[in-house]
Structure 1
Amino acid sequence: MDIVSTSFTHLYGTHHGWLLGLLRRRLNDRWDAADLAHDTFIRILNRPLTEADHVGQRSYLATIARGLCIDHWRRRQLEKAWLDSLAQRPQTTQPSPEQRAIIVETLYEVDAMLARLPSKVREAFLLAQLHGLPYKQIATQVGVGERMVKKYMAQALLHCAILEAELDGMLVQ
């Protein structure tokens, strides 16, 4: 065994129970807590811990777990909104469970992409795509010129193209 796997094994053995308890209290679901505890330690494998002391290690683990909880809650909100909209559709047009999972994952990725955009770019993009506003109205509403709206749209569409390529598995991360 090398030093990294030995230190990881020690970290896991020392803090897994504590982290699992923290996540159970936060999520009120032992299965979700177990999943997120697992995901937290997977992140540690990909981004090794530099903290040497016990308190620093727990703080680092809690920070990663907190971010994963936020992602989890955001994903649940999106999934609930999607399922609520599906409930309004006739039973004959319902997607299969596999299609539902793909759609929810895509919605989550789009939401994450939108969250990474600067606020004015995101606002302009949503006004154009969801509300169908012309650039002139968007410019007025966002408080910029029409040329800037065109730049914002180009920036947002570039992010959409990158996301599409990632979802199609064309880009290596």
Structure 2
Amino acid sequence: MPDSAAAPQASLSTLYRDHRSWLESWLRRRLGDSWEAADLAQDTFVRVLAAQHTQTLPSLREPRAYLLTVGKRLLVNHYQRRSLERAYLEALANLPQALAPSPEQRWLLLETLHALDELLDGLPRAVRQAFLWSQLEGIDYSTIGERLGVSERTVKRYMAKAYEHCLLVDL
């Protein structure tokens, strides 16, 4: 292995060894669950590894601050995901038994919702809302504009931005 490839691997190993337990403890205090904290800590280091492979990992003068930033983002995503799951389960509970999906269908729907949420992550709230109303509920642009308090032209810009975001996320 060339020295240039060994150095980042060694620094990641050192970063993991020196700071994993600290990060996991920080996450455990916020989550109140050691298993979820361990998962999120591991996900944090997976993100660091991915950043390292795409050459975007900065030189870490303050490794805990960097890990905390990545960990906080994952924590926010975790809470958003949990909120999405609760809303989905509440909607299912309100369905008549005859219309309720099977456990397999529920799982597939929940996974689809998570994928959609992750796909739209990073878009401004109004853009996300316009996109979801249009695509999931079939609401026309003028009605969306009224709901959001913006012009139809702005809704068209929102939709263009959302479509562009969706296309670029896959790249």
Specify the TM-score bucket, using the shorter chain as the normaliser: 0.7 to 0.9
Distance 1:123 1:52 in 2: 37
1:14 aligns with: 18
Query: For the structure 1 residues 35 and 152, does the alpha-carbon distance in structure 2 shift closer, same or farther, using more than 3 Å as the test?
Result: same
SS of residue matched to 2:37? helix
SS of residue matched to 2:107? helix
What's the offset of the Cα at 1:155?
A: 1.7
Distance 1:106 1:151 in 2: 25
1:100 aligns with: 106
Q: Does 1:143 pair with 2:154? A: no
* Alignment equivalent of 2:88, drawn from 82, 90, 104: 82
Identity score, percent: 41
Query: For the structure 1 residues 135 and 70, does the alpha-carbon distance in structure 2 shift closer, same or farther, using more than 3 Å as the test?
Result: closer
Distance 1:69 1:122 in 2: 20
Normalised TM-score (structure 1): 0.73
2:58 aligns with: 50
1:155 aligns with: 160
RMSD: 3.2
Which ranges in structure 1 are unaligned for 5 or more consecutive residues?
none
Matched residues, number: 162
Maintained 8 Å contact 2:127/2:159: no
Maintained 8 Å contact 2:28/2:37: yes
Maintained 8 Å contact 1:113/1:159: no
1:105-116 superposed matches below 5 A: 105-116=111-122
